[in-house]
Structure 1
Amino acid sequence: MAGTLPAAGPASAAEPQRLTVDLASSEGPVMLGANGALYGLSDDGVPSDAALEPLKVTSISQKPEGGAQHPNGDALTVSKAFFRNGGGEINVMMQDVYAKWPYEDLGIDDYLPKVDKIVKEVSADPNSDRFVYIPFNEPDQIWYHLGVSDQATYEKNRDRFFKDWKTVYHRIRAIDPAARIAGPNEAAYHTRLLRDFLAFAKRENVLPQVMTWHELGSGSLRDFQAHYDDYRGLEREAGIAPLKINIDEYANRRDLSVPGQLVQWVSMFERNKVYANMAYWDAAGNLSGHVVRSNIPNGGWWFFRWYAGMTGDTVKVTPPRPNTVDTLQGLASLDTSRRQAQVLLGGSAGDSDVVVKNVSPSVFGRTVTATVAEAAWSGYEGQHATPRVLTRTKVTVADDGSVTVPLRGMHKMSAYRIVLTPGGSGTPSPASVPWSASYEAEDAALTDGKVYTQGTVSNANGYAASGTKDVGSLNQPTSKVAFTVTVPKTGTYDLAILYGNQSGGPATQKLSIDGGDPVTVTYPSTENWTYRAKKDVTVRLTSGSHVLTLAKGDAEVTLDRIDLTTRTGEPSASYEATLADIGGRPSYDYSSSAGVGTGALVLRSGDRAVFDVYAPRDGYYTVVPRASAAVRLALHGETVTAAPGRPLRLYLVAGNNRVTLTARHAAVRSLDVSGSGSTAGTLSYEGASATLAGGAELVDSPHASAGSFVGWLGDSPSSTATFTVDAPRSGRYLLVVHYAHDERRDNGHAYNTDIMSRTADITVGDGAPVKATFKNTWSWDDYWTLGVPVDLEKGSNTVTFGNPTAWAPNIDRIELGRVLG
């Protein structure tokens, strides 16, 4: 098979690694169990519906309503958004009712009234059957100290825990007889405890319905399979039928946001058909580090979007080195009804051959189209556009029924997806991959800076860094990092800078090329110096070598890596219909593989295809459905009709947009989207134009777009800001609010950043107010955007912001764009 990944450097002399997929060896239906998160939701709207729904999250773990452990993330509060977006079940971390960490040990008599209150509230919820009670958290370390080596001490502590487990179990069931209870929920796997626990729980009739423990060790990628096998053996030994398992905290900090690391975790959990929730190391509300702001994907989000797109059965994958930390691993699925096979892999650099065996002629025919795409690491807070297709090639199935897909120059932190579909007639359009190169900051010429090591196996809870190193302490007037780069031709290049900024506000550096006049690069705030974000700028370079220097500006910024990519025109992406989420019973037509798509999705009345469309910023984009007949597109509550191949000008919000396509009868190959987010034709109003009341004030700020923002808004029914907007036409608009706030409540945790969200009631004219949630922006001077659909009448309209009971965010300005431009 021709076509490989673009070269990332000199070819390796080593033989390619081999990862084998056996399509004839089913492991059972795709479960999607490993996409959960601890405190993945913080509020209704954080993360956004458009970021949450596509991932098909099966379980999350949250605190009880009113729990003091964190300032947000209450289970009942976030359940509305979670269930609205197709979420599965919610684990209630009952001991998170306490404020301190580790939990204050006030005795079981203090705990029981709290248990009563929690269970009464949850059992009264209309969705009570979708909650799971976790009465104890990490009892091997907290309250009971069951991880001690001394056997006599262990037995004393064990007996106290078992007594309390039985008491709380019965207390829960007395209030909620149908309650599902999970435990024992150790911080690490303990054979001794679990053997004793299962025997006790069976004898006393207090078995949990869900078995839980945590996998947070640097060796968990190596050890989990042994833990799982041992546990299932303990069940058989005790004569207990297999329980549902939820590894309700998993992964080290260095793994989160990194597609290549996530593949390793998810593959072992999906293979064993267990549920699993990623750990909460940093901030709540971003699905454990995979949603930027509230609605923007990073590389990890795209990996989980791929995972959510797997259908049918998972099949056996044999990696080069099973159960080995930081090595090439993968998972795969086969859906015979859709005639698709998918392989997700990653975790290792270099060259690999993916050998897919038993490619059935009755499903695929004698040729297949193999499409390879990459989800790269973009940082925890770094935006990632739609994953780029690297190769799309038609290949003949070998006589032994196998297909080999070569991957060359793989990046360790990236994940890759291979999709196999029937080849049909015609030739697929080859993928267009622009030239790109990466340069590590630690390899550049440093002046008054320091190289730090991050996120290694020995420091697994350090933050991820490209190449495990970054450059910090760039805090002297003369601090700078000079990168020597070489580009193949004269032209415009996209420069992506992976950075950290914990200076307390927007920070700047001076970018110069070959010692020329510097330009200012402004970096928004990040959670801390090592919580990576990505800044995109554009540079003009002539062919050959250059020195790109980033020198200290008005504050300190840390640097990890820069990427240079040839700009080939406006950003564009083709979203293949055969890989969209579907509703109804559409059929799949692979009779032709010509063009970009992997085939066609045939929609009839009652069918739908839902596309996840990325936009780099708020604004207008050109959207073209490639279909055989007219289709309807639904976006932001607006539905428009499109003729085949006819471009539409649609307003997209920054990040992910869910676009639903329906038709009476049409074969749809793709939804093609291009543009940079034009604001031509939008309405824009600065904060200074608003009419303020009830204590709301216009506050001067050099960081606001026009030098001032609306502050002191809310905390009273009379405190409002009213904008008068003039709509050229009636219809559905996107109201884009430019806002900032940095409200926090420090609960004293060493590793959680307890940021708060703020809300505002938005009222158009005399209509009913709509509550919008605004996530913390990491500083009072960093302005983010939130898009809210509103209906306007032609002519003058009022848009009023307020919050009668709490402070609203500071508002810099608003923009409005009609959905159909």
Structure 2
Amino acid sequence: MVRESSGPPPALPGPQRLTVDLAVSEGPVLLGANGALYGLSDDGVPGDAVLAPLKLTSVSQKPEGGAQHPNGDALTVSRSFLRNGGGEIYVMMQDTYARWPYEDLGIDDYLTRADRIVREVSAAPDAGRFVFIPFNEPDQIWYHLDVADQARYEIDRDRFLRDWRTVYRRIRAIAPDARIAGPNEAAFHTRLLTDFLAFARREDVLPQVMTWHELDSASLRDFQAHHDEYRAIERELGIPPLTVNIDEYGCRRDLSVPGQLVQWVAMFERNKVYANQAYWDAAGDLSGNVVRTNLPNGGWWFFRWYAGLTGDTVAVTPPRPHTVDTLQGLASLDPARRQAQVLLGGSPGDADVVVRHVEEAGISGFGRTVTATVAETAWSGYEGAHPTPRVLARTTLRVAADGSVTVPLRGLRAMSAYRIVLTPAGSGTPDVPAVPWSASYEAEDAAVTGGVVRTLGTVSDANGYAASGTKDVASLNTPASKVDFTVTVPADGTYDMAVLYGNESGAPATQLLSVDGGAPVTVTYPSTQNSSHRARKELRVELPAGVHVLTLAKGDAEVTLDRIDLTARGGPASAVYEATLSDIGGNPAFDYSSSAGTGTGALVLGTGDRAVFDVYAPRDGYFTVVARASAPVELALHGASVTAEPGRPLRLYLAAGNNRVTVTAGHASLRSLDVSGDGSDTGVLSCGAASATLSGGAELIASAYAADGSCVAGIGGSPAAKAEFTVDVAIPGRHLLVVHYAHDDRRDNGHAYNTDIVSRTADITAGAAAPVRVTFKNTWSRDDYWTLAVPVDLGRGGNTVTFANPDGPAPYIARIELGRIIG
């Protein structure tokens, strides 16, 4: 049984110690804990560029046409899941029903539905990639198997076991090779699992995958005992070890929060089980780790790091094993790449990471010195974009006489995760990373007028939304409402200011920002799912050195404030992407003879080799990209390619969010891709809604929040309802078509915590190409305009770009932009 969890443990005096033992292997990296329940909502939501890097091993979705949710159909989303390297799709068969908890119409009704589900999946070309889950949370739904009364339990148990056998055999009668998972309890129950496994073994209806849920903060303490007890039951019954998938894990406060996620992932990876993050709010965002369609947040970057682990995981001893909200971690060792990586987080303060047996780890050429590269991914909210994680330190460390290396980490933040990469040290000195001055200020610690401080996302409120410092300021809804932040900055200059906020007004909402009581400026916040579902608004302020009061006062609607961050701005944003930490193909060599630059050596590419980088862009636009290579290399992105001369800058058009850039070469030593800029629109072709030629009922309507005050409505619903833009292209080739769109379609399924958002689609015809169907995710309100980038090929001179949808409504379109990818 899940026990109540107490509050977070008291802080330890002095630096905490997390020990990594490279000599103790736990087996090959599984990457099993990166899955999500309803992580995908449509083919294209989330986008391919954020799916592919995570190497997802499993997702759980509803059967095609199931009534439980308005989207997330398994066969539909399998197209994007599988083309991006996904593993297995678990089909939640009871999600055919509309109500929650599921309406119980009897086993005969369910069998009729199950027959259809299995036949449809079996007819799919990738049928072998699906796993059937016949029952969901039977301990609570239909069978009530979590009752204390033993006599009542045995009656309900026997009914469940009979129905399990019936449905299992029905599935196998239709699909003899089908893989089946269960019993899929809402929580771990020793009594039921023992009875279930004994019955299933005796009746020859054992699941191929054992599933249950871990949905309480106490799971961070208790899962290891649950897992060990389950394996003991298997042994006692003579059952060979089954694959385990904890197909729902985590609370609302955990999702999107790197420091929380690392605690969960560490224990699942250590035990080599699969696990899918829970669904609490909206489908299509990988359980809160993808913003909009293609924007990574802090949680996404943590899972990107996780996907980058290679070789074997090795033993990690945290300061407090199996303890809720404490420093935890996982680590890997890849002798072939000569890399060790450590992911850690979950606790504030200082820590020493001690890596043992460095010289005995079988890494040829590791030597007596190593380079340690330390980076941080912070919490940016469920809907707040997070740039490329900042490198905090690059240092050369000498291996101690006992074969260990100690990496000191100071000032850890509880909601952040950290990555340490150890590589052999070569000649030269790694570049010292430029870490700008930065400070954070909690809203609850500021001077609050006409607002209410709330506490949420604590251990005792685990299904409350995460909040920085577990508090925020809400109910800023009176004319006098304001929050005064007293800040201190070290020097005169420009500062990037980020506001963590919530806006459930149903439209963009404003506040008034003033500095030291000066003239206010309007800050506009896009909509969020609700007042607690955090997003991140970025702006800039000019501040002289010293103490200031930054005031955010009520504007036209209520906005919840959580925290502000101030960061000194030293120029355009920039990031360095290390080649030896990229995704690779072929058999490139890892060269650590020099530690200059990134400190992580170089990747030697030959014919047939490739390196794939995940490059972040804060907005759609042109950026400067430099390949640090010994010889020319080929860069490919969005279907375009260009030769990059060593050290010579290229001007490339990137989509807002993640961009996958592939580098190949006949022979070149590649150290990094360096990317800088804020997203220039110079040379971008732009067409507002008013320039479109409309037909079939499509019309131009006023829209206060569109860039030019209007948008095109009424596209789709019939073959004739179209919008056609004409653009004149000076240089032919591959372009990114950036569509500024909005819509807020919802389909009420009556689910207790389903936001019911659905996507719209449009068939886009660009130039002479065939139409391409593109999915546009819901923007949370009719007045919030997002962008979606679509690669298109255009010829020289006049080209038309047409939007249509004979099957249903397309989104409202305010503007299109076209940038040639190779600028």
TM-score when normalising by structure 2: 0.98
* Equivalent residue runs for 1:665-814 within 5 Å: 665-814=667-816
Instruction: Please tell me whether residue 123 in structure 1 is matched to residue 122 in structure 2.
Output: yes
Displacement after TM superposition at 1:695 (Å): 0.6
Structure 1 residue 596: deviation in Å? 2.1
2:452 is aligned with what amino acid?
Answer: K
Q: Which amino acid aligns with 2:483?
A: V
In the alignment, which residue of structure 2 is the partner of 1:640?
642
Inter-partner Cα distance in structure 1 for 2:450 and 2:67: 44
Q: Which has the larger displacement, 544-553 or 760-769?
A: 760-769
Give TM-score, length-normalised by structure 1: 0.98
The answer to whether the Cα contact below 8 Å between 1:574 and 1:673 also exists between their aligned partners in 2 is yes
Residue by residue, what CA displacement relative to the aligned partner does 1:650-678 show, whole Å, maximum 9, x if unpaired? Answer: 00000000000000000000000000000
Contact 2:626/2:673, CA 8 A, preserved across alignment: yes
Matched, 1:556 2:558: yes
Task: Measure how far apart 1:322 and its partner are.
Answer: 0.3
Q: Using the TM superposition, name which of 293-302 and 362-371 deviates more.
A: 362-371
Tell me the equivalent position of 1:5: none
- Which residue in the other structure is 2:4 paired with? none
CA distance in 1: counterparts of 2:589 and 2:573, whole angstroms: 31
Aligned length: 810
Aligned to 1:384: 386
Query: What are the equivalent positions in structure 2 for 1:10-409 lying under 5 Å apart?
Result: 14-360=13-359, 362-363=363-364, 364-409=366-411
Quote the residue 2:449 is aligned against: 447
Distance 2:462 2:753 in 1: 14
- How many angstroms does 1:774 deviate by? 0.4
**1:96: how far off?**
0.2
Q: Secondary structure at the match of 2:179?
A: coil
* C-alpha contact 1:759 1:774 (8 A) present in aligned 2: yes
Amino acid at match of 1:721: A
Quick check: 1:19–1:319 contact (8 Å CA) kept in 2? Answer: yes
Q: CA deviation at 1:765?
A: 3.4
Is the Cα–Cα contact under 8 Å of residues 709 and 810 in structure 1 kept in the other structure?
Answer: yes
Alpha-carbon shift at residue 595 of structure 1 (Å): 1.5
AA partner of residue 371 (structure 1): T
Offset of residue 218 of structure 1: 2.2
Letter matched to residue 160 of structure 1: R
Q: State the alpha-carbon separation in 1 of the partners of residues 707 and 296 from structure 2.
A: 25
Contact 2:51 2:84 (C-alpha < 8 Å) held by counterparts: yes
Deviations 1:377-398 (A, max 9, x none): 0000001000000000001100
Q: 1:45 is matched by which residue type in structure 2?
A: G
Q: Which residue of 2 aligns with 1:479?
A: 481
| Partners of 1:42 and 1:78 within 8 A in 2 | yes
Matching of residues 621-636 of structure 1 within 5 Å: 621-636=623-638
1:432 deviates by 1.2
- Give the Cα separation in 2 of the matches to 1:745 and 1:669: 49
User: Is the Cα contact below 8 Å between 1:597 and 1:669 reproduced in 2?
Assistant: no
- State the 1:597 CA deviation: 4.2
| Mapped partners of 1:766, 1:335: distance in 2 | 48
Superposed displacement of residue 727, structure 1: 0.6
| Whole-Å separation in 2 of the counterparts to 1:547 and 1:766 | 57
Secondary structure of residue in 2 paired with 1:230: helix
Looking at structure 2, the residues matched to 132 and 13 of structure 1 have their Cα atoms a distance apart, in angstroms, of 44
Paired residue type of 1:99: A
C-alpha distance in 1, partners of 2:553/2:629? Answer: 50
For residues 129 and 274 of structure 2, the distance between their equivalents in structure 1, rounded to whole angstroms, comes to 15
**Cα distance in 1 for residues equivalent to 2:121 and 2:162:** 24
- Contact 2:769/2:793 (8 A) holds in 1: no
Q: Distance in 2 between matches of 1:438 and 1:371?
A: 24
1:748 Cα shift?
Answer: 1.2
Q: Which residue does the alignment assign to 1:7?
A: none
Identity of aligned residues (%): 76
User: What code does the residue aligned with 2:233 have?
Assistant: L
Contact 2:629 2:670 in 1 (8 A): yes
**SS at 1:197's partner residue?**
helix
Verify the 8 A CA contact 2:371 2:396 in the aligned structure 1.
yes
- Distance between the aligned counterparts of 1:13 and 1:100, measured in 2? 47
Deviations 1:541-593 (A, max 9, x none): 00000000000011110000000000011000000000000000000000010
The answer for the alignment partner of 1:610 in structure 2 is 612
User: Once structures 1 and 2 are overlaid, which stretch shifts more, 393-402 or 589-598?
Assistant: 589-598
Give the distance between the partners of 1:570 and 1:654, measured in 2 at CA. Answer: 16
Q: Which residue identity is paired with 2:171? A: I
Query: Aligned partners of 2:350 and 2:471: how far apart in 1?
Result: 23
Per-residue deviation at 1:14? 2.6
AA of the residue aligned to 1:77: T
Task: Report the Cα offset of residue 704 of structure 1.
Answer: 1.0
SS of residue paired to 1:181? strand
Q: 2:20 and 2:298 mapped to 1: Cα distance?
A: 24
The alpha carbon displacement at 1:13 in A equals 9.5
* RMSD value, Cα: 0.8
1:199-230 CA distance string (max 9 Å, x none): 00000000000000000012110110000000
1:729 deviates by 1.1
Measure, in 2, the Cα distance between the counterparts of 1:712 and 1:801.
11
Residues 402-481 of structure 1 aligned to structure 2 (within 5 Å): 402-481=404-483
Unaligned runs of 5+ in 1: 1-11
Measured in 2, the distance between the counterparts of 1:328 and 1:52 equals 28
User: What is the aligned partner in structure 2 of residue 8 from structure 1?
Assistant: none
- The separation in 2 between residues aligned to 1:804 and 1:549, in whole angstroms, is 50
Q: Could you say which residue in structure 1 is the equivalent of 2:8?
A: none
In structure 1, the partner of 2:521 is 519
Unaligned runs of 5+ in 2: 1-10
SS at match of 2:497: strand
**What is the CA-CA distance between 1:766 and the residue it aligns to?**
4.2
Tell me the residue number matched to 1:9: none
Q: Partner amino acid for 1:461?
A: N
Counterpart amino acid of residue 554 in structure 2: K
